[in-house]
Amino acid sequence: MLARESVAFLGLGSNLGDRLDSLQRAVDRLDADPRICVDDVSSVYETAPVGGPEQEPFLNIAARVRTRHSPRRLLAACQRVEAGMGRVRTVRWGPRTIDVDILLFSDRVIARRDLQVPHPRLTERAFALIPLMEVAPGGRLPDGSSLAAALARLAPIEGVVVVGSQITVPPADDLPGAAPPV
């Protein structure tokens, strides 16, 4: 890792339009930011919506990224991806083309009006914890508790169905600072 680089974990979800395409485009757009490198993505999970109006099921993934952004600038980058893909925030927990949340940022705890890390409802949501555990095996929350223990407290788990591994990490030769192909 480069100096001042942090590891963050993002949760992505979509329930409007071509959900798989939206997830892939969001991963690609995040990786296109010169201060973000997507290292890994989880399997894709279909989940029932939580809260909000009646709506279609979501497809969800988690991504592990290396970033040279501060947490607030990473949030701004995530929101730029959402806006660029047509996300409109009219109804809380309503349908969306793409949602990109910061789940964890290194081992930091951030409590600001505009940003809370770990994500404030992470330990209540199997649809976020299950894919997160794929890209953060053995992962822990900043308080030292394990992601697996948080997931176990939600048992029995229902309504989170793996649908495959269709989302890919952008090629390594597209990474900022990578050596050109020989």
Active-site positions read: 87, 96, 99, 101
CA–CA dist 128, 47 (Å, integer):
10
Rg (CA), the chain: 16
Could you tell me if 110 and 117 are in contact, meaning their C-beta atoms sit under 8 angstroms apart?
A: yes
Maximal CA-CA distance, the chain: 53
Q: Nearest-CA neighbor of 147 among 118, 176, 172?
A: 118
